[in-house]
Amino acid sequence: MTRLQAELERRRRAGLYRRHRLLGSPQGPEVVVEGRSLLNFSSNDYLGLAADPRVAEALARGASRWGCGAGAAHLVCGHTEAHAELERELARFTGRARALLFSSGYLANLAMLTTFCGRGDTLLLDRLDHASLVDGARLSGARLRRFRHNDSAHADRLLAEAKGRKLVAVDGVFSMDGDLAPLPELARSCARHRAWLLVDDAHGLGVVGEGGGGSLEHWGLGREEVPLLMGTLGKALGTAGAFVAGSEEIVETLIQQARSHLFTTAAPPALAEATLRSLEIVRSEPWRRERLARLVGRFREEAGRLGLPLGDSLTPIQPLIAGSNERALAWSRRLEERGILAVAIRPPTVPEGSARLRITFTAAHEERHLDRLLEALAELPR
């Protein structure tokens, strides 16, 4: 047996083996997975826009005008009027001077951390931060310190000890737990210790806040408290890609120095056209966030009555904690037998001993979908 075969076998035995699921339908509350129709409670399409016909129509119009590919990096000849317009609208939506597009949130986080920190500096990360923040911190060469999850007092103590330039990077909404970072306390610590605060709001933008402005709107924070903001376009906005929003100087510095911007082909301009339409819908249809809140509220109330081991989240991300990998997989299989897709999340995506079903809601779900989910969850072996 080769070394690679042995490692694959080890992952199988540990309940850590993963595989692609083949979808035969667009995203939605019901999807076709490998020929079978399932209720979908695993998607990040929080506002139900990934298959919205208006967004699809904008994409088609954009492809008719611009073609399929950008053809080059933004700084060569791949930056179109569609990209520029989307950057202006994202800056306006987030209340920032400028925004800069990236092909993914991973690339955007790598760009910020490797551009604004280096050797001799200190980066502080929450222990449950997204892998892209961890990888960006390691690539930066800065000293990396991790504070206990959502423990702002611990972060403050580490900041007091930090050397060089200081930057704190956190998820606005944590992707596997659904809870919010204590941004006001972290912002005060950063101000006290002359540090910058970076917020990855991939799972907050469009969903959290009265106007969908994300975790910063929820907490009433602005660009002074949070100089660096990252948002993704492939979750609540239903398309693909990401952006960084900040001051004129921040965006210009990224354009000049960020390797993941300099050396990556721009996303298709048709995708920018689709995202512009999606952004209009986010602004004009608050009922989507209102429906999400109602579904989540009812789910948590009913799940509490059933005694289900839920995490502490009021967002569309509702973790059902199984503990062991084997139990999480068994729960996921049992739900799939009942026609429900709720994928098991295991280490290293979550800490050891905290495997779970990551149940997510979208504005496209209806009460009848929730009824079926609750009926199936009530029958899970515990």
For CATH 3.40.640.10, list the domain ranges present in the chain.
Answer: 53-284
Tens-place pLDDT, residues 140-188? 999 999 999 999 999 999 999 999 999 999 999 999 999 999 999 999 9
pLDDT band at 16 (very low <50, low <70, confident <90, very high): confident
Residue 237 pLDDT exceeds 90: yes
pLDDT tens-digit series, residues 313-359: 999 999 999 999 999 999 999 999 999 999 999 999 999 999 999 99
110 has pLDDT over 90: yes
pLDDT value at position 145?
Answer: 97
Q: What is the reported pLDDT for 1? A: 66
pLDDT of amino acid 346: 92
CA dist 247 and 241 (Å) reads: 20
Query: Quick check: 253 pLDDT over 90?
Result: yes
Asked if 254 contacts 229 with a C-beta cutoff of 8 angstroms, the reply is no
Check: CB of residue 204 under 8 Å from CB of residue 215: yes
Residues annotated as catalytic (active site), given as ranges: 175, 203, 235
| DSSP 8-state symbol, 245 | E
Kindly indicate the confidence band of residue 244, based on its pLDDT and cuts at 50, 70 and 90.
very high
In sign, the C-alpha dihedral spanning 117, 121, 127, 131 is positive
Report the mean per-residue pLDDT for the chain. Answer: 96
pLDDT value for 74: 96
Chain-centre distance for alpha carbon 349: 13
Q: Residue 57: what pLDDT?
A: 98
**pTM to 2 decimal places:** 0.94
**Mean pLDDT score, 64-90:** 97
d(CA 97, CA 261): 19
Residue 70 confidence (pLDDT): 96
Structure tokens at 47: 């506002």
Contact 205, 236 (CB under 8 A): yes
Rounded percentage of the chain residues whose pLDDT exceeds 90? 96
CATH architecture of 53-284: 3-Layer(aba) Sandwich (3.40)
Q: How far is CA 340 from CA 44, 299, 333, in A?
A: 16, 15, 9
Q: What single-letter DSSP state applies at residue 310?
A: B
Long-range own/partner contacts, residues 293-299 (CB < 8 A, 24 or more apart): 295/361, 295/365, 295/367, 295/370, 296/361, 298/367, 298/370, 299/359, 299/361, 299/370, 299/373, 299/374
With a cut of 80, say whether residue 139 has pLDDT above it: yes
The C-alpha atoms of residue 301 and residue 298 are separated, in whole angstroms, by 5
Distance CA 212, CA 264 (A): 29
Count of other CB atoms within 10 angstroms of residue 281? 18
Residues 6+ apart with CB under 8 A from 100: 87, 243, 244, 245, 251, 254, 255, 261
Cα(50)–Cα(56) distance, rounded to whole angstroms?
8
Q: Which residues of 305-334 are buried (b: 16+ CB within 10 A; e: fewer)?
A: eeebebbebebbbbbbbbeebebbbbbbeb
pLDDT above 80 for 18: yes
Model pLDDT for residues 274-327, shown as the tens digit of each residue:
999 999 999 999 999 999 999 999 999 999 999 999 999 999 999 999 999 999
Amino acid identity of 220? Answer: G
Residue 237 · residue 195 · CB < 8 Å: no
Confidence class for position 381, pLDDT limits 50, 70, 90: confident
Phi and psi torsions of 200, nearest 5°:
-90, 105
Decide: 39 and 376 in contact? Cβ < 8 Å.
Answer: no
Q: What is the pLDDT of residue 14?
A: 87
